[in-house]
Structure 1
Amino acid sequence: MGLYDAARLFGFEVESSDNLRFIPLAVRFNLDRFGLRITLDQWQQLPYEDRALLARFPIEEEAGLEKNFDLALEEMMKTHANAAPEPIERDPDPVWMHADAVPETVIRQSSLSGVSAPSLDRWGKLDRFQRYALAKLSRNTDKVNHDFLPAMKEFGLAE
């Protein structure tokens, strides 16, 4: 699989990403997958075209262009932000990879958002990128994430 035709955004991200001003989940997914970190400021230093290109990289495991994401990001960062992506430790067993257990953070964020947590059956039917999105959006269990409820609605888990 090659690059997507357009930036890979969930419906709820279109408004909240503010024309790619914020880092979309597809880019966050690839950053996590490659064990890289960039700041929001660094992201915003990249030209819009570069941000859109990074959001077009595939999220599938078998993608032939996978390795090019980190190389493209590194070159863009060097050129436009005079920096390099920070290497971080990759999670060898992220919670979103497990279709057989709803993460505690997702349960907590559901409660904070005033909706029922996904049932195990419905959680298991989500694709791994949807599970990643909900897990990522529920990391902070102290306050409501403004994108969590719209994501739950988009994925058919809340009304």
Structure 2
Amino acid sequence: MGLHETPLMFDFERVSSEDLTYMPMSVRFNLDRFGLRISLAQWQLLPHADRALLARFPVDDDAQIEPNFDHALFEMMRTHANLEPDWFTPEHEPAWRDPATVPEGVLRHCREAGATGPSVERWGQLDPFKRYVLTKLTRKPEASHDFLPAMREFGLID
């Protein structure tokens, strides 16, 4: 699968990520699937064109489909920041991959927001990238300002 024509972003991200000052979820997904970590400050050291290119990479749930994201990131970081991303071992079976179980973090954030959590059936119907996004937005105990807008955009709440 090739690169998208434009940076891949959800509507709820446009305010905070449209100018690519902040990392869009597509970049976070690819960082996580390749086991790479960069800070926001390191992201912002990259030229806008490089950030836009990284945000165009596919978000398929198969690290073998597009293995050039990691190579591109390393080259960009070395060229523009004289740094390399940190490595970590990705989770073998992250919660978002399981279409039959809504992660507790997602349910907890729904309860705290006064919203009904998605049913297992509805959770399973979401594409894996959307499940990743909701799980990523609920990984911390405090509420993310993007969580409810993402739930709305994904058709899980009104």
8 Å contact from structure 1 (residues 3, 65) kept in 2: no
Cα deviation, 1:56-75, whole Å, max 9, x if unaligned, reads 00112468761110000000
8 Å contact from structure 2 (residues 61, 129) kept in 1: no
CA RMSD of aligned residues (A): 1.3
Q: Corresponding residue for 2:111?
A: 111
Is residue 2:106 matched to residue 1:101?
no
Three-state SS of the structure 2 residue aligned to 1:19 is coil
Query: C-alpha separation between the residues in 1 aligned to 2:154 and 2:129?
Result: 11
TM-score for both structures, normalised by structure 1: 0.95
Q: How many residues align?
A: 158
8 Å contact from structure 2 (residues 33, 63) kept in 1: no
Matched to 2:71, the amino acid is L
Matched to 2:119, the amino acid is S
Q: Corresponding residue for 1:19?
A: 19
Displacement after TM superposition at 1:114 (Å): 2.1
Gaps spanning 5+ residues in structure 2: where?
Answer: none
Q: Corresponding residue for 1:66?
A: 66
Q: Identity over aligned residues, as a percent?
A: 54
Query: C-alpha separation between the residues in 2 aligned to 1:138 and 1:72?
Result: 28
Cα deviation, 1:74-114, whole Å, max 9, x if unaligned, reads 00001111110100111000000000000000001111222
Matched to 2:149, the amino acid is P
TM-score for both structures, normalised by structure 2: 0.96
Gaps spanning 5+ residues in structure 1: where?
Answer: none
Cα deviation, 1:16-38, whole Å, max 9, x if unaligned, reads 21511111110010001100000
Q: Corresponding residue for 1:129?
A: 129
Q: Corresponding residue for 1:53?
A: 53
